[in-house]
Structure 1
């Protein structure tokens, strides 16, 4: 086992001086790969992470967990707005103010405007995710997120003061740009600052942030669903301002990712971040530093400066495809039923007031499912959770379609509503959170900021037409399928399951170095779990 004495001799200091100046330790570029002492540090650092259980890691790194959750919580703003739009089209005062007569004595927002409101933010976010990678590579996760939070504060004004569907749509599009920064950076940052055993649980908190946003929206719109004036939707819009400023303060004090700092050659700062994230012992911190730099050096020596084109080259292309598949598949397994839950419940024959109540219940159950997913990621592999979760939702979606196809009554209406809740619960327990974990772990370290951005772009490319399809299937002025949409989503989910079965590898309990080696060796997806990688291999 290497100790601080070896490092002291390397830097020309005594043991006492080394401990006194530990904050100033700086390893020269490529030194880890060519220095036996530092390589031993890297081996021990990686072995220590592998031997650490989930609970032990959480006790040793509570601040790493906190900062990971804090960064993931930025997603609550995209979640809030997405669910808000889904509830607006079911809000009686909003329907009457902006809608057209539905021929039954009520009002409805035309399908084209429903789609526009849902899609505008996603179009803005599509731009944001492509900007996020290059900006993050240059500025780091902290400053990029701070910039996005400032932009978020400013763009909310447009939506709040909008007096037409056109201006509201423009406001949503501009709000989407900072969403793109948040969703691209959050899983990458969370996965880089916690030990291996915590990556699953901490990246899964992204889905929890979606649920928190939906709970706030469900509560706000339920409270205002009987309102008759414009404040019944303007006040929920104003609630968006409760998030950016407090998050800006927290992000200012957050440690930068040590992986990003080492990629930029700022090793003293990386060591300080490692300590702030929970590794207090100087020797352990030095080993973690060596472990990180070893992986970064291997990738840098084989690939050079990262660019977007690198995502389409060699083994990185396979990793990019997996990331894009995971993101895009979130739209194909019934998740859009959750995003438009209130409207879905109404189309299933539930009264508006009861539909808002069910939506609040649905959002709370999703939150519970997210908490349970933390334990699920500790017990089972990524591939296992994804495949079984998808299969479960396919079954429920088919049952939903059958229930909507038989003679309708009050019982079948509530059965469809319950099935919609179960589908949302299953998604929040398995598919949703595990997708973010897979996305964060699949890309190489050097391309992570770019990869998560491009992967999320794939999500929006898939989601924008799917939102139109979902609105068309549910809207009374469209196809008016109600629960029969379950057949459609079951069909798309089957495609995702087949692709994942043949292409999704098992990533659990693997360091980033091990994953690099597995992908470079072109190991088949179903052989990842049983392939042994020695800690001394530097491929």
Structure 2
């Protein structure tokens, strides 16, 4: 394995950090001490010592509630009578109002287009200005852009409003996992990145409740009130974010050593010596990544060993859509096309979002006992089976019991998804991405999801719409096939990152360890040769 590298410089007391150059107090011995302490710290010990980091991670991630809320609104509006009469057209052949498949795809994809642009802006802005300033500007932007959506007189203006609102949503979707992974210790990293999906499910649950309460309202307020509710969040969150600490990792990447030390003191209850050791470990990790591969631009995500890390992050998020999310996350419209009344369809939809919330909470328990790879592989395998079961039932019969059987399977799909690949994708992208490329990699992963969402949103309405292909439940065969492909990818390409520090992950990727051997490989980041032994 090689001998440990001794600290070359005698540590300096943390009280003198302000007057001492960083190279005088960031010793390898301190870094190794912090590494050992982080690996050995338990869940409750970490929670107690980093309770303020937990709090700020939760607060920053709360912004995703707004994206989850709106994501549920638009697909559900397609089965909402008053919305369809306002923005759709009357079709004599079916004797009812409908939005055409093209307009359904257009309205969903306009927000996706905005989210993609907003995500790329976020990757650049976070690297240049930091997480805190970026999210503060985004809060002001969403409050302003909501006016366009709220007062939209037709589908064209509504599409423009969705594009504009998508810009800050793209920031919220990508800033949460990056910030959570940087302010929290190893023992809490998975739980707090997965919490992001709790926020997503919370937004969806709120939207389902609001929509169910207004489904029988025949006035314009039945769809304007759901939009107006989005103004509740920005003022409170903006005030909270004003007091949020910046990520210490961002400060160190920019060379702001004193500011990084201040952020660590605001985020934890560590002693002076522990603060010094943590700073040394963080700096050691950043320098290690520079040795392995330098650069911090989007282009660097596709170079050398970082290409594999980018592939894993992007494919993990793409799996969410290719597992049938577009089919199952707009269930009200699917249930109506299967023959349910709007009231029953929205009641089942509320049940689905409640299951999503419960499933995500219980996914924390799975994280305690099982690895990321195990949970993700099990989840995508089960989702594949459920989708094919829905398709088979639809192909065999179309009576009322079959309709409710498909609805039940759809709810089971939502529960399995929220227990496994839904929340786990956030932990995977946060852990797999390199520290110096975290913001950029998270953006690329999330935008891969958004591109898949655009493709799925174009295809799904045509498959489901009675004025187009009218496939109903047989649509599940399409998504079952794509889910099967991703199951194969997960088996061969998704590594196990549970319990690994960022230094260990850097070396595992640098040594090109097989995904199936990540769990058992022994890593010595502080040995002279920085060994990785594959067992």
1:44 alignment counterpart? 33
> Which ranges of structure 1 fall in alignment gaps of 5 or more residues?
1-5, 12-17, 33-37
Where in structure 2 are the equivalents of 1:291-440 lying within 5 Å?
A: 291-440=281-430
User: CA, structure 1 residues 261+99, in 2 after alignment: closer, same or farther (shift >3 Å)?
Assistant: same
In structure 1, how many angstroms separate the alpha carbons of the residues matched to 2:526 and 2:292? 17
SS at match of 2:263: helix
1:35 alignment counterpart? none
What does the per-residue CA deviation read over 1:237-275, in whole Å, with 9 as the maximum and x for residues that have no partner?
A: 011111122111111111111111111111122122212
In structure 2, how many angstroms separate the alpha carbons of the residues matched to 1:460 and 1:327? 9
Moved more, 300-309 or 486-495: 300-309
1:138 alignment counterpart? 128
For the 8 Å contact 1:26–1:268, the answer to whether it is kept is no
| Selected match of 1:499 from 489, 495, 503 | 489
In structure 2, how many angstroms separate the alpha carbons of the residues matched to 1:309 and 1:8? 37
Where in structure 2 are the equivalents of 1:209-220 lying within 5 Å?
A: 209-220=199-210
User: CA, structure 1 residues 55+478, in 2 after alignment: closer, same or farther (shift >3 Å)?
Assistant: farther
TM-score for the superposition, normalised by structure 1: 0.93
SS at match of 1:331: helix
The reply on whether 1:96 has 2:90 as its aligned counterpart is no
The structural deviation recorded for 1:461 is 1.6
1:57 alignment counterpart? 46
In structure 2, how many angstroms separate the alpha carbons of the residues matched to 1:440 and 1:30? 31
Cα RMSD of the aligned pairs, angstroms, is: 1.8
The structural deviation recorded for 1:119 is 0.4
In structure 1, how many angstroms separate the alpha carbons of the residues matched to 2:459 and 2:20? 55
What does the per-residue CA deviation read over 1:120-176, in whole Å, with 9 as the maximum and x for residues that have no partner?
A: 010011111111112111111111111111111111110011000000000001111
For the 8 Å contact 1:153–1:241, the answer to whether it is kept is yes
| Selected match of 2:118 from 123, 128, 148 | 128
The structural deviation recorded for 1:415 is 0.9
The structural deviation recorded for 1:498 is 0.7
SS at match of 1:107: strand
1:168 alignment counterpart? 158
User: CA, structure 1 residues 393+25, in 2 after alignment: closer, same or farther (shift >3 Å)?
Assistant: farther
What does the per-residue CA deviation read over 1:86-143, in whole Å, with 9 as the maximum and x for residues that have no partner?
A: 1111111111122223434322111111111110010011111111112111111111
In structure 2, how many angstroms separate the alpha carbons of the residues matched to 1:385 and 1:10? 42
User: CA, structure 1 residues 25+412, in 2 after alignment: closer, same or farther (shift >3 Å)?
Assistant: farther
For the 8 Å contact 1:26–1:267, the answer to whether it is kept is no
1:105 alignment counterpart? 95
In structure 2, how many angstroms separate the alpha carbons of the residues matched to 1:22 and 1:379? 43
In structure 2, how many angstroms separate the alpha carbons of the residues matched to 1:27 and 1:203? 34
The reply on whether 1:72 has 2:66 as its aligned counterpart is no
SS at match of 1:101: strand
SS at match of 1:138: helix
For the 8 Å contact 1:142–1:256, the answer to whether it is kept is yes
2:233 alignment counterpart? 243
The structural deviation recorded for 1:84 is 0.5
The reply on whether 1:180 has 2:170 as its aligned counterpart is yes
The structural deviation recorded for 1:27 is 5.1
In structure 1, how many angstroms separate the alpha carbons of the residues matched to 2:418 and 2:11? 50
In structure 2, how many angstroms separate the alpha carbons of the residues matched to 1:277 and 1:159? 38
For the 8 Å contact 1:158–1:171, the answer to whether it is kept is yes
The structural deviation recorded for 1:209 is 1.2
For the 8 Å contact 1:22–1:282, the answer to whether it is kept is no
In structure 2, how many angstroms separate the alpha carbons of the residues matched to 1:170 and 1:359? 27
What does the per-residue CA deviation read over 1:174-213, in whole Å, with 9 as the maximum and x for residues that have no partner?
A: 1111111122221111011111111111100111111111
For the 8 Å contact 1:279–1:285, the answer to whether it is kept is no
For the 8 Å contact 1:334–1:423, the answer to whether it is kept is no
The reply on whether 1:444 has 2:438 as its aligned counterpart is no
In structure 2, how many angstroms separate the alpha carbons of the residues matched to 1:111 and 1:222? 24
Moved more, 50-59 or 311-320: 50-59
In structure 2, how many angstroms separate the alpha carbons of the residues matched to 1:435 and 1:352? 32
The structural deviation recorded for 1:23 is 6.7
In structure 2, how many angstroms separate the alpha carbons of the residues matched to 1:355 and 1:10? 65
In structure 2, how many angstroms separate the alpha carbons of the residues matched to 1:353 and 1:22? 67
In structure 2, how many angstroms separate the alpha carbons of the residues matched to 1:437 and 1:25? 38
TM-score for the superposition, normalised by structure 2: 0.94
In structure 1, how many angstroms separate the alpha carbons of the residues matched to 2:359 and 2:493? 26
2:74 alignment counterpart? 85
1:508 alignment counterpart? 498
The structural deviation recorded for 1:54 is 2.0
| Selected match of 1:156 from 146, 159, 164 | 146
User: CA, structure 1 residues 27+462, in 2 after alignment: closer, same or farther (shift >3 Å)?
Assistant: farther
For the 8 Å contact 1:29–1:265, the answer to whether it is kept is no
In structure 2, how many angstroms separate the alpha carbons of the residues matched to 1:305 and 1:325? 23
For the 8 Å contact 2:327–2:476, the answer to whether it is kept is no
1:15 alignment counterpart? none
